[in-house]
Each structure stands twice: as C-alpha cells, then as structure tokens.
Amino acid sequence: MGDIEVPTRKLTFEEFLAWCDEDTWAEWEDGEVIMLSPASRRHENISDFLVAVLRIFAETRGLGEVISAPFPMRTGPDLPAREPDILFVSKENLERLKDTHLEGPADLVVEITSPESAERDRGKKFYEYEKGGVREYWLIDPDREEAEFYRLVGGRYRLIYPEGGIYRSEVLPGFWLRVDWLWQDPLPPVLSVLRELNLI
C-alpha cells in the first residue's frame, strides 16, 4: 500500500471521495475503506487492450465515454462505492459522471478477476451491480481463460453465451468481441482489431 495512510474510522461517502485521490485503488463499503491489491501484468494488459478498443469504438460511434480504474462508481445511495476495471457510460447517462466519481450505474462494467478479487467480483459486486442497474457486466478471468457476459433482464442478470466464440454487446450497438483475443500472448494489435470492427 506504500505510504498511504488508511483511515481507521468510518467515513461518509463524501469523506471517502475527499480522501481517495486519482492514484489510490480503494473501495468504500459501509463506511469502511477497502484497499485493493496491485494488478498483475496480464491483468493490466487485458485491461489496457479492452480500454483501447472500447474507447475508440465508443468515440468513433458517438456512444458515450469509457473510463478505466481507478474511478469510483456508486450505483445507489444505499450501495457501496466500487472501482471497476472498466466503465462505459452511454451518452444518455453522461450526467451521472462527476469530477471524482460516477453517481449512478455505468451501462457496462468490466471486472478482470484476480485470485484476490474473484470472490468479491462474483459475489458482492455481482449483486450490487445487478441491484444498482448496471445493464451489462463482463467478468474476465485470465487465470481460467474464461469470460462471462451478463445482461440485465427484468432486474436480474442473465448469462449471455457468445455465439461462435463472439460476444455482441447490447449497450454498445455494433460492438463485438472475439473472446479468444483475450487469451492470446501477446494480445492482438489494437489496430488489427479495429480493422476487424470496421473502424479503420
């Protein structure tokens, strides 16, 4: 955790935002500050790859904004503040974006699991994102080389299976992801992916 002094008393959400700077990886739950462990190189590479492709796609199509961690999201007033690996906020919901956090649900959340985060990503966060109204939730597990794609249907997450190894997003119209890209070492060049997506 370096030289970061973690508060020992409970904080309000506003106090947490004031304490948590742009380089601090932490979440806020029931007034407690939860420090997050540094990510592995593979985790970071997959995250950077997805951010690059999603950001260029969203910008080119004028769909909204893609933000990478650390950036807190609080899906509801009675829910914790989490720092997903990747957020997408559609242009219809950009008013939710504040200078220091997202006030309300992202349209898409991507979590790239690690041994330290897997239980939280599949447990608490899954139910919080579902309750808070995150429309799509992608769970990427580099260790198992598995990806799960959930879509909010009638207030509940439904697992959506990729067809022919390709997942097609609902909140990013026209965007598709070849799941095998995520497990390649090295990852495919972003420019080649953009060409497949007909962006260049």
CATH architecture of the domain covering 39-196: Alpha-Beta Complex (3.90)
Look at the block and give the residue holding tokens 């997942």: 167
Q: Which residue has the tokens 């959930």?
A: 150
Give the domain ranges of the chain: 39-196
- For residue 81, what pLDDT band results from cuts at 50, 70 and 90? very high
Q: Which of the pair, 194 or 118, is modelled with greater confidence?
A: 194
Q: Which residues contact 81 (CB under 8 A, 6 or more apart)?
A: 13, 16, 27, 28, 29, 72, 73, 74, 101
Signed CA dihedral, 71, 75, 81, 83: sign only: negative
Euclidean distance between CA atoms 112 and 121, whole angstroms: 8
Over 80: is that where the pLDDT of 21 sits?
Answer: no
52 to 24, 47, 68, 140, 190: CA distances (angstroms): 22, 9, 10, 16, 7
Is beta strand 176-178 parallel, antiparallel or unpaired with respect to 166-168? antiparallel
**Structure confidence at residue 37 (pLDDT):** 65
pLDDT in tens, 43-71: 999 999 999 999 999 999 999 999 999 99
CA distance 69 to 153: 26
Name which residue leads in pLDDT, 24 or 80.
Answer: 80
Q: Please, which pLDDT band fits residue 145 given cuts at 50, 70 and 90?
A: very high
